[in-house]
Amino acid sequence: MNTQTSPSPQFYLTAPAPCPYLAGEMERKVFTHLVGPRAPEMNDLLTQGGFRRSQNIAYRPACESCRACVSVRIVVDEFVPSRAFKRVEAANQDLISTVFPAQPSTEQFSLFRAYLDSRHQNGGMSDMSALDYAIMVEDTHVATRVIEYRLRSPGDGLEAQPKGELIAVALSDMMSDGLSMVYSFFNPALEKRSLGTMMVLDHIRRAKALGLPHVYLGYWVRGSRKMGYKTRFQPQEHLTNRGWERFDVDAEPEA
């Protein structure tokens, strides 16, 4: 009997289910497990090929009648913040961000629940428990980090652990060619801060400082309002049948 682990990943296909982004559409996904010593290498290759990571699973859409989901990545070196982005940065100058290993906390979970209850009451994650959240953060075989964003308080910068109020969190993967934003959430009551945009801008800054060319934003869904913000970060590339190509938001036809 051959007991050696297969060097190639095994792929599986989910059953059809209602699409969470486009009414009337059914979604299917192809997925594989990201485990073992080759998980970081496979995560790089699969993300560059249009997959996303959730815990120890890499997946991508495999819908039969729809191709609306498109993988998006920002071209870091050429990114120049617009006046609107500069206003977001100015509004959040009082924040301090800290990178931690992929470990959950009760404070993170409280913020996560407030975010879900405000923004995604009927979503697939709406009933997640503290244990579910811990698994989402910890169940990874790749280079995953948690970035906490807190209001700056006296003494921050002098101590390893900032003490200010936690208002945003990002779960991110470090890849050979960029940072991949796996999931992010924030205090929904602080709408004027545009914290979602702030976290993307922070990832662009971090990638540039690390000499990494891309920030991966996951899927942009053509026709979905909740995904429209992703095309604001220019220049960016979209994964097409011909590979990664530049996308010009001004050239996108109106729906």
Cα distances from 75 to residues 22, 95, 210, 213, 249, in angstroms, run 28, 25, 14, 6, 14
> ω before 162 within 30° of 0 (cis)?
no
| Burial grade of 4 (CB within 10 A; 0-12, 13-18, 19 or more) | exposed
**Structural element, H or E, at residue 130:** helix 130-138
Question: Is 11 within 8 Å of 49 (Cβ atoms)?
Answer: no
| pLDDT of amino acid 20 | 84
pLDDT tens readout for residues 224-241? 888 889 999 999 999 999
Instruction: Say how far apart CA 171 and CA 180 lie, in whole Å.
Output: 9
- Which domains, ranges and CATH numbers included, belong to the chain? 12-70 (no CATH), 73-251 (3.40.630.30)
The position carrying tokens 């290498």 is 41
**Closest to 145 measured CA to CA, from 106, 105, 103:** 103
Instruction: Say how far apart CA 116 and CA 221 lie, in whole Å.
Output: 20
Assign 3-state DSSP to the chain and report helix, strand, coil percentages, each to 5. Answer: 30, 30, 40
pLDDT tens readout for residues 63-89? 988 999 999 999 999 999 999 999 999
CB atoms within 10 A of CB 141: 18
Q: Which residues on neighbouring strands pair with residue 103, listed in sequence order? A: none
Q: Which residues have a Cβ under 8 Å from the Cβ of 197 and sit 6 or more positions away?
A: 85, 88, 229, 232
Pairing status of strand 17-18 against strand 69-75: unpaired
Q: Confidence class of residue 250 from pLDDT cuts 50, 70 and 90?
A: low
- More confident: 163 or 59: 59
pLDDT tens readout for residues 185-213? 999 999 999 999 999 999 999 999 999 99
